[in-house]
Structure formats: structure tokens, C-alpha cells
């Protein structure tokens, strides 16, 4: 059966997360239902990572197996037609080898988290970013972020419900930038690693926000990491500012 890689963009607001659920809407469920309109029967797609309820994606990757050898462009067009009106779009499709796997072939994941600092509520971007009503110290946040780089036991920064066998991960990048806006300031956190623990990015950002607000020092981040204790973590930030922004593969299936 031909295997296809799909690059997927979605607004996570109306979904209970990526993973298919019996009684709640999911991104996986929406795509599998669209596939069933093209090829009747049961479909199970595998993704590079599972996002939680309210989390978005600009470049999630999944793969599916079909009986027909579709032209990739026509496959993406057909899926997008059947995905309406769900806020999910197939932005790329590619034929891949039979042993290619969206999750296991990946060598890195990239996430973006957006904080918007302004007094007024968000209107057009409601549900797309975490709004706070105070500015943050960019230099302090980056100094705290730098203490998380490298290989560590990240027990402090993972959910107690995390199912990963080990809390040891290698964080390759955590860059904090400031984007001036007409009304307020946007802070972007770009995070890169081979894989992540459950709630790891949201735990990082929630902790670093406390550093930026002056409630924590950058060195407090290092001490929290060394504690290897979930109770030492700062607040976990809400999901709406988080985006799965990219998945890396040794050979990019979507490269021109």
C-alpha cells in the first residue's frame, strides 16, 4: 500500500487534542474521517507528536497508507475539500518509502510559544496566544532559558501524567525574542529537541514568565532543574499559545 506523508496545519481551539477520542473532536479523527471519504474503511494515521487540547500546529506531520497511488497534490486537495469546515489544512503531501514513519523517522521537533503583553483583551488573536497584562524582562528570561540547554533529567518540567520511560532529554535550543506590536509586546519562545516530555514546553514557558516578571531569578531556574521535583516547577502556562512549528527528518519529504 502506498504511504504518504502529510504536513498539517490546525487551530487546536475546538479540539480535545490531536489523538482520536470516542466522544470528543480531535484533529486525528477529523483527518481520518476525511480519508474515509476518499477510501471507505477504517483509517489510522500516525503523527510526529500528540498535541494537547487547545494546542495548535503550523507543521505537524503524519503518515497514512492508501490503496491508491495518489498524486500528492491531488491527495492534499481532496483531503482539504473533505476537511471543511474544520480548522485543519493539509499544506503538503509526499509519497514516502513504506518504512518511513512520521514519528520514528523524525530527528527533531520544534515548538513556538507566543505571549502577548497588553492590557486589553485579545480579539482577533483570542485563543492563539497567552495574554498577560505586564511586560517581561527579555534578558532575564534568556538567561534562565540557557540553564535548561543540554542533556538533563527534566523531572521538574514534566507532567506527573507523562508516560515517557525516562525524564532525561536533550534540549538543543530555547530562544526568547521580543516582537514590538502596535498595541503591546509579543514574546516568542522557540524550542528545539529530538523529543519532548508531556507539558515540558508549557512548563518551561510558565517558569520563564515568572523570571521575566521578576518573581524568579535566572538562577532559580537552574535550582528548579536540579531539584528533579515537579513541585519545584513554576506555573504551567495555558495551551493556547503553543504551536508545533516543525518536525525535522534526515531527508525532508516535503522539500521541493
Domain 110-245 has CATH 3.50.40.10: no
**256 pLDDT exceeds 80?**
no
Q: What is the pLDDT of residues 71-90, one digit of tens each?
A: 999 999 999 999 999 999 99
For residue 121, what pLDDT is reported? 96
Find cell 503523527 and name the residue.
Answer: 47
Q: State the span(s) of the chain assigned CATH 3.30.70.660.
A: 110-245
Domain 3-105 has CATH 3.30.70.580: yes
Q: Rounded to whole angstroms, how far apart are CA atoms 155 and 191? A: 18
Rounded to two decimals, the pTM is 0.95
C-alpha cell at 217: 531569578
CB atoms within 10 A of CB 214: 11
| pLDDT mean over 108-128 | 97
CA distances from 158 to 60, 169, 191, 221 (A): 21, 11, 15, 14
Angle at which helices 200-213 and 138-146 cross, to 10°: 140
Q: What is the pLDDT of residues 164-192, one digit of tens each?
A: 999 999 999 999 999 989 899 999 999 99
Q: What is the pLDDT of residues 196-231, one digit of tens each?
A: 999 999 999 999 999 999 999 999 999 999 999 999
**pLDDT-based confidence at residue 128 (cuts at 50, 70, 90):** very high
175 catalytic residue (yes or no): no
**pLDDT-based confidence at residue 153 (cuts at 50, 70, 90):** very high
For residue 66, what pLDDT is reported? 96
Q: Which of 115, 141, 62 is nearest to 239 (CA)?
A: 115
Q: Which of 52, 146, 153, 220 is catalytic?
A: 52
CA distances from 204 to 107, 151, 164 (A): 21, 15, 17
Q: Rounded to whole angstroms, how far apart are CA atoms 135 and 121? A: 15
Q: State the span(s) of the chain assigned CATH 3.30.70.580.
A: 3-105
Give the start-end residues of each E strand in 137-215.
Answer: 150-153, 168-180, 185-193
**pLDDT-based confidence at residue 22 (cuts at 50, 70, 90):** confident
Amino acid at each position: 500500500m502506498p504511504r504518504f506523508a502529510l504536513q498539517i496545519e490546525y487551530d487546536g481551539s475546538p479540539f480535545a487534542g490531536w489523538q482520536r477520542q470516542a466522544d470528543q473532536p480531535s484533529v486525528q479523527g477529523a483527518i481520518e474521517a476525511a480519508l474515509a471519504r476518499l477510501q471507505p474503511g477504517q483509517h489510522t494515521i500516525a503523527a510526529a507528536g500528540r498535541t494537547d487540547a487547545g494546542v495548535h500546529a503550523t507543521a505537524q506531520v503524519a503518515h497514512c497508507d492508501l490503496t491508491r497511488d495518489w498524486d500528492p497534490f491531488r491527495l492534499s486537495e481532496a483531503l482539504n475539500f473533505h476537511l471543511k469546515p474544520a480548522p485543519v489544512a493539509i499544506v503538503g503531501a509526499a509519497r514516502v518509502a513504506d518504512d518511513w514513519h512520521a514519528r520514528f523517522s523524525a530527528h527533531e521537533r520544534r515548538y513556538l510559544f507566543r505571549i502577548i503583553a497588553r492590557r486589553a483583551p485579545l480579539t482577533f488573536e483570542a485563543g492563539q496566544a497567552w495574554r498577560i497584562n505586564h511586560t517581561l524582562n527579555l534578558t532575564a528570561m534568556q538567561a534562565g532559558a540557557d540553564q535548561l540547554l543540554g542533556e538533563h533529567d527534566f523531572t521538574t518540567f514534566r507532567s506527573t501524567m507523562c508516560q515517557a520511560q525516562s525524564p532525561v532529554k536533550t534540549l538543543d535550543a530555547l530562544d526568547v525574542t521580543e516582537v514590538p506590536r502596535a498595541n503591546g509586546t509579543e514574546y516568542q519562545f522557540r524550542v528545539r529537541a529530538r523529543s519532548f516530555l508531556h507539558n515540558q514546553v508549557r512548563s518551561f514557558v510558565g517558569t520563564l514568565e515568572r523570571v521575566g516578571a521578576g518573581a524568579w531569578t535566572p538562577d532559580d531556574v537552574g535550582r528548579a532543574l536540579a531539584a528533579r521535583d515537579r513541585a519545584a516547577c513554576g506555573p504551567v502556562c495555558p495551551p493556547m499559545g503553543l504551536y508545533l512549528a516543525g518536525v525535522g527528518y534526515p531527508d525532508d519529504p516535503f522539500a521541493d
